[in-house]
Structure 1
């Protein structure tokens, strides 16, 4: 089969690598335009573009695929991209975390399959991994679905599940699911080649939506339960990074362990900050042991190292 691939971040690059290494002919890759990144704000290519360029695969980077855009530049680039798709000999488009909407005109050219990071219909939308952890789901997975105009509403071709561990963060779960997605899309395309793949409609019950993560969500409120705060810390690692202020300084919190007992202290109060007990903080219900922290301009450090340069005894997170 000849496969056009559309994707942008590392999650998608893993799938592209799997398809390429499996021997599929990939005549064209679509990815988002280069973005400024780093302290110098130099333009940086996406992870998908880096892989494609390294392996000699043609790359197309339109600002939009919507030919009816009111922005003349976006409309022109979309028209050019549409013409390029029409002139390309391919059998299927595979989409993974592309970040651009595929309009009906694109979906109508050839079948479009999506690698989605949840067990649909749960967590349709932009941030399924984050929301599954934040909500406390016991498991998640990957769904390979056939795309249609609705938001992640298309029929399902393959589902695989994986448990969410008590210390899984978005970073660790992302890597597990990326590997699963790469394996699964190869499996589905092999079945398509043999004509044995079956599309199953999504259930009407159990639909939830994973809204895009807003940076302001990462500000922690220690009046919430220790369980909920711990989930947020894991869900927002690596982006946008959960944080709370102590003594006027905003500290990012990258890891925590749940301690069930209630202390009776005010939420956010540091109950211990030493090598023996670690950094223990009171919450609205229960307590947390913070395991990895970062001060402004500093590195992410284990708790024992962090308190050497930033004592927390007697302080309170707000």
Structure 2
């Protein structure tokens, strides 16, 4: 605080490409997350952190942080610091429908979005009309032509490459509908996606797709 006030600060910090987050002890006020701060601890966000890994690390840090906070309260060794509203940002609650991947952004933004959603609520797209969850990806060292439609599957025998905005990502951990998590190579071997197919197109109600 005061950054990322709201229900989903961990998700949004990763989605926005932040390199650190933290824990904050503060006094309660009527408005959410606006009270005076009396103890904080910074926690780094690594380049490969997902929501799950960062949340787990924050939980592990919470116990020692709470003990230190109580010690400061008991000994009156703290000075409340008012939050600066000019520095505030917001982290609204994420709904399942908010996790739909937009490949129209640059690859770095797409990767951050997928990391920030993994695995709760879980980033997803559609493959042949059925939901395909994406738990992790990497920025690819190649991409299609500048006019290639975002979401287009690119030719590659070993990687599940998807066009973004003048860049591409390799989907490395995916969960097809009704299946367990698998790597990109396993998805290629099992589902045989064809170059030129486009991710993100949901089947029309009543439509049957292979």
TM (normalized to structure 2)?
Answer: 0.87
Aligned residue for 2:152?
269
Aligned residue for 2:194?
313
1:8-59 Cα distance to aligned partner (Å, 9 max, x none):
xxxxxxxxxxxxxxxxxxxxxxxxxxxxxxxxxxxxxxxxxxxxxxxxxxxx
* Post-superposition offset of 1:193: 1.9
| 1:148 aligns to 2:25 (yes or no) | no
Show structure 1 runs of 5+ residues with no match. Answer: 1-119
Show structure 2 runs of 5+ residues with no match. Answer: 201-210
Aligned residue for 1:177?
58
RMSD: 1.6
* Post-superposition offset of 1:307: 2.4
- 3-state DSSP of counterpart to 2:125: strand
The equivalent position to 1:239 in structure 2, one of 107, 111, 120, is: 120
- 3-state DSSP of counterpart to 1:205: helix
1:251–1:288 distance in 2 versus 1, CA, 3 Å: same
* Post-superposition offset of 1:261: 4.4
TM (normalized to structure 1)?
Answer: 0.59
Aligned residue for 1:17?
none
Aligned residue for 1:124?
5
Separation of aligned partners in 1, 2:198 and 2:19: 32
Contact 1:155/1:200, CA 8 A, preserved across alignment: yes
* Post-superposition offset of 1:207: 0.6
Separation of aligned partners in 2, 1:273 and 1:316: 15
* Post-superposition offset of 1:175: 0.9
* Post-superposition offset of 1:306: 2.5
Aligned residue for 1:202?
83
Separation of aligned partners in 1, 2:189 and 2:142: 27
Alignment of 1:220-231 (within 5 A): 220-231=101-112
- 3-state DSSP of counterpart to 1:274: coil
| 1:159 aligns to 2:40 (yes or no) | yes
1:145-169 Cα distance to aligned partner (Å, 9 max, x none):
1212111011111111122211111
1:139-192 Cα distance to aligned partner (Å, 9 max, x none):
111111121211101111111112221111111110111122221111010122
1:260–1:136 distance in 2 versus 1, CA, 3 Å: farther
- 3-state DSSP of counterpart to 2:85: coil
Q: Which has the higher contact order (CA 8 A, sep 6+)?
A: 2
Contact 1:252/1:293, CA 8 A, preserved across alignment: yes
The equivalent position to 1:299 in structure 2, one of 170, 177, 180, is: 180
Separation of aligned partners in 1, 2:40 and 2:188: 45
* Post-superposition offset of 1:205: 2.2
* Post-superposition offset of 1:260: 5.5
1:139–1:208 distance in 2 versus 1, CA, 3 Å: same
- The answer to which of 302-311 and 130-139 deviates more is 302-311
Total equivalences in the alignment: 197
